Amino acid sequence: MSLQLLFDAMALGGIYAVAALGIALIFGVMRLVNFAHGQFIACAVFALIVPSADALAVMGLGALPAPVLIPLILLIGAGLAVAAEALVFRPMRNASPVALMVSSFALGVALQNLLLVLYGGRPKAVSLWAELGHPVRIAGASVPLLQLIVVAAVVVVLAGLALMLRKTRLGLEMRAAAEDFTMARMLGVRSNRVISAAFALSGGLAAVVALVLVAQTGVADVRMGGQIMLVAFIATVVGGMGSLSGAVAAGLGIGAASALLQAGLPAEARPFRDAFLYGGVILVLLFRPQGLFAPVGAKPRV
């Protein structure tokens, strides 16, 4: 039982961490709070199925074998994010963070309604990799195989990203840009390349979240990105805006807290789990308004 809870917490926390990382990456390089991230996730989900308003989804791309499907969906997510940057955020490069945030909110609304027009408003049943739902027995607990794969995938993604940020030139440039964008540009970091790369990575991460969500819930819903994006936002704020490791740690923590609340709350209070969660977050921020792992550069300098 407790091992099962541990896996629940790790799988949920892992998804939140990957989503939070997608938001923190973009915030880091261009101080943009990307309210369209949830819709990137939803778009990647709906890319799997053929556009129609029927309740039962017909798999389009989703029918492809996994080794082809996964890179393809990642590319679609990355492509969408890069296109959004080129069309919407590049013309606003010098705008204030508030204006950027509002325009990303508008972009999210546009994408969501585009999905509504193409696919209709009803949630659809999607069976992606249904055979992964079988439970596996580990040390007396039965854990769905999918959950193990999710945890493993999250570890691989996080490790890969950490390696990329530490060891490659692009990663170095990204970290430099996140630290001080103007200074990095003066030292020869090409801003368009770094920002496009950050958006591509962020879109790819959104696609990872999308695949995991579909495989876990078996539902494609136009609104599915919103809730997870909200948690991811909260994770980036709690982790300290702009801190990548902070976002990951806070995402894991919120996922764990959420799984624990789900298990520990009395049945009649369970529907209010999210309200408790958000209330708890506001409490944490009362004591550490700058977040738990605020980077040094986050303080405004005079």
Partner 1 sequence: MTSQHTIRRRMAATTPVVLALLLLVFVLAALALGDRAIARMAAETLIRVTMVVGFWIFVGNSGVVSFGHAAFGCIGAYVSAWLTLKPEMKATLLPGLPEMIAAADWHVLPAAVAGGAVAALVALVTGAAILRLSGIAASIATFAFLAMVNTIWANWTSVTGGTSSVVGLDRYVNPWVALGWAVAAILVATLHAAAASGLALRATREDEVAAAASGIDRFRHRLLAYTLSAFFCGAGGALIGHFIGVINPDGFYLSLTFLMLAMLVIGGVGSLSGAVVGVLALSIAVEALVRMEKGVSIGAATFALPPGSQEIILAVAMILILIFRPSGLMAGREVMLPARWVAGRASTET
Instruction: Indicate the residue among 14 and 291 with the shorter CB distance to partner 1.
Output: 291
CB-based burial label for 139 (10 Å; 0-12, 13-18, 19+)? exposed
* Rounded distance between C-alpha atoms, residue 215 and residue 14, angstroms: 15
Q: How far is the CB of 282 from partner 1 (least distance, A)?
A: 5
Applying the rule CB under 8 A, the residues between 29 and 48 that interact with partner 1 are: 33
Q: Tokens representing 139?
A: 């040390």
Q: How far is the CB of 174 from partner 1 (least distance, A)?
A: 20
CA angle, 146 then 150 then 154, to 5°: 170
Q: Which of 211, 234, 250, 254 binds partner 1 (CB under 8 A)?
A: 234
Contacts of 50 (CB under 8 A, 6+ apart): 57, 58, 59, 60
Helix (H, G, I), strand (E, B) or coil at 141: strand
Q: How far is the CB of 140 from partner 1 (least distance, A)?
A: 34
* Rounded distance between C-alpha atoms, residue 155 and residue 129, angstroms: 20
Instruction: Indicate the residue among 67 and 300 with the shorter CB distance to partner 1.
Output: 300
Question: What x/- string results for residues 255 through 294 when contact with partner 1 is judged by CB under 8 A?
Answer: ----------------xx-xx--xx-xxx-xx--xxx---
Helix (H) or strand (E) holding 23: helix 2-30
Contacts of 299 (CB under 8 A, 6+ apart): 290
Q: Which of 19, 44, 237, 247 binds partner 1 (CB under 8 A)?
A: 237
Instruction: Indicate the residue among 92 and 148 with the shorter CB distance to partner 1.
Output: 92
End-to-end CA distance of the chain: 54
Applying the rule CB under 8 A, the residues between 76 and 105 that interact with partner 1 are: 88, 91-92, 95, 97-99, 101-103, 105
Cα separations (Å) of 73 from 80, 87, 217, 229, 259? Answer: 11, 21, 18, 19, 28
Instruction: Indicate the residue among 110 and 164 with the shorter CB distance to partner 1.
Output: 110
Instruction: Indicate the residue among 58 and 272 with the shorter CB distance to partner 1.
Output: 272
Instruction: Indicate the residue among 7 and 199 with the shorter CB distance to partner 1.
Output: 199
Helix (H, G, I), strand (E, B) or coil at 128: coil
Q: Which of 66, 68, 83, 117 binds partner 1 (CB under 8 A)?
A: 117
- Residues in the interface with partner 1 (CB under 8 A) total 44
Answer yes or no: are the C-beta atoms of 195 and 29 closer than 8 Å. Answer: yes
Helix (H) or strand (E) holding 219: strand 219-220
Q: How far is the CB of 100 from partner 1 (least distance, A)?
A: 8
| 226 touches partner 1 by CB under 8 A | yes
Q: How far is the CB of 45 from partner 1 (least distance, A)?
A: 18
Q: How far is the CB of 250 from partner 1 (least distance, A)?
A: 12
**Residues at the site binding partner 1, with contacts judged by CB under 8 A:** 33, 88, 91-92, 95, 97-99, 101-103, 105-107, 109-110, 113-114, 116-117, 226-227, 230, 233-234, 236-237, 241, 271-272, 274-275, 278-279, 281-283, 285-286, 289-291, 300, 302
